[in-house]
Structure formats: C-alpha cells, structure tokens
Amino acid sequence: MKEHKHHHLLPGVLRFLGLWAGLSGGYLTMGSTCPCCGRPGCPVGLSLAVLLGAFGSALLNFRRKIFSLLCKGLKDWVRI
C-alpha cells in the first residue's frame, strides 16, 4: 500500500492567526492611539493595529521565503 503524504494546513493557519491576534492585541494594549485624530479606540487606529499585526505575523511565519526572495531579487538587481 502506498502511503499518502498529506500536508496539514490547519497548524500553519492557527499559528498565523494566533500571532496576528497576539501582535495586534499587544499593539493595542500598549496605548496605541489613532495616527489621524490622536484618540484611543478610533476605528482608524484599530485597523492600523490589525494591519501591523498581520504584517508582523506574515514576517514571522514566512521569514525564510521572504528573505530568500528579497536576496534573489537584490542579486538580480545588482547584476544589472
């Protein structure tokens, strides 16, 4: 019988979502205020925290792939 290799997507998704929630919540609890009006709890400040959390989570989860693509692109750019 052949053994089938199944790629499990759920642990990676849960790690991404957990880091996203943790980084966003950490940013919000450190006294973040809205960059436009300066009030805490503004929807713009909340959306900024969510975007920064998603960006940080993507960097932490996909850092090897991102940095290898950046290095490859930089090597190609320097060659030109």
* pLDDT per position as a tens digit, 51-66: 989 999 999 988 888 8
Residue 54 counted as domain residue: yes
The answer on pLDDT for 8 being more than 80 is: no
pTM: 0.68
Could you give the CA distance from residue 48 to residue 14 in angstroms, rounded to a whole number?
22
Residue 76 counted as domain residue: yes
State which residues form the domain around 67.
41-80
Average pLDDT estimate for 4-21: 80
CA angle centred on 41, ends 37 and 42, rounded to 5°: 40
Give the end-to-end CA distance of the chain in Å, rounded to a whole number: 52
16, 21, 27, 28 alpha-carbon torsion, rounded to 10°: 160
Give the residue with greater pLDDT, 7 vs 54: 54
Average pLDDT estimate for 10-20: 87
Residue 4 counted as domain residue: no
